[in-house]
């Protein structure tokens, strides 16, 4: 796939836990790869991720890419915040996106539904291939050639996700499933 020509840029941000050596190594590999292909695809890694940077990113990008290795998504709250701002999500169907994805109306799903495959033996390369295919044939063309459909998806993102993924739900579920049903210790 050729992404040159200024059609796509990737912005990575995040922070590994100080004792997460694998996370630190992954960040290092991203930065190294970005340097190698910087003439073809603009890629930047924003260091020192914090709440202020997260706020700017979730409000100021066009597509929120989240591609955890299934079934390892912790929660996906950044994708929820992006969706409330009209950002379209592009993610594997894991974590919150299983509920947030509405058949392509709120963004794109990478790979199969989680209930369609054995996740223990799943080959991540299928997700990689699906990601590139959709980016080239669906996401990029829609962004540049069908702004009306893009804007409709943005509106759907806000309308279908914001009322459901919010603080009211979080507090209600914490109370119902965390506090009221948690074992009582004396």
- The predicted model gives 80-89 an average pLDDT of 93
Q: Taking all residues of the chain, what is their mean pLDDT, rounded to a whole number? A: 86
How far apart are the C-alpha atoms of 129 and 67, rounded to whole Å?
13
User: What are the boundaries of each domain within the chain?
Assistant: 1-49, 51-179
pLDDT of residue 182: 60
Q: Is the pLDDT of residue 52 over 60?
A: yes
Decide which of 51 and 183 is more confident.
Answer: 51
pTM score = 0.81
How far apart are the C-alpha atoms of 66 and 143, rounded to whole Å?
18
pLDDT of residue 160: 95
CA atoms 20, 31, 42, 93: torsion sign:
negative
pLDDT-based confidence at 172, cuts 50/70/90?
Answer: confident
CATH number at 51-179: 3.40.50.2000
pLDDT-based confidence at 1, cuts 50/70/90?
Answer: very low
């Amino acid at each position: 796939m050729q992404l040159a020509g200024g059609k796509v840029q990737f912005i990575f941000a995040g922070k590994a836990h100080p004792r997460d050596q694998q996370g630190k190594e992954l960040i290092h590999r991203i930065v190294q790869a970005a340097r190698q292909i910087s003439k073809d695809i603009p890629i930047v890694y924003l260091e020192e991720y914090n709440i202020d940077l997260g706020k700017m990113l979730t409000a100021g990008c066009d597509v929120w890419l989240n591609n955890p290795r299934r079934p390892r998504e912790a929660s996906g709250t950044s994708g929820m915040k992006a969706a409330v701002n009209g950002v379209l999500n592009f993610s594997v169907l894991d974590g919150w996106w299983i509920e947030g994805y509405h058949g392509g109306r709120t963004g794109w799903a990478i790979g199969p539904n989680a209930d369609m495959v054995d996740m223990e033996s799943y080959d991540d390369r299928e997700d990689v291939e699906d990601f590139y295919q959709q980016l080239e044939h669906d996401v990029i063309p829609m962004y540049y050639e069908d702004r009306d459909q893009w804007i409709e998806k943005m509106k759907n993102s806000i309308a279908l996700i914001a009322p459901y993924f919010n603080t009211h739900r979080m507090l209600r579920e914490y109370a119902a499933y965390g506090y009221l049903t948690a074992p009582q210790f004396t």
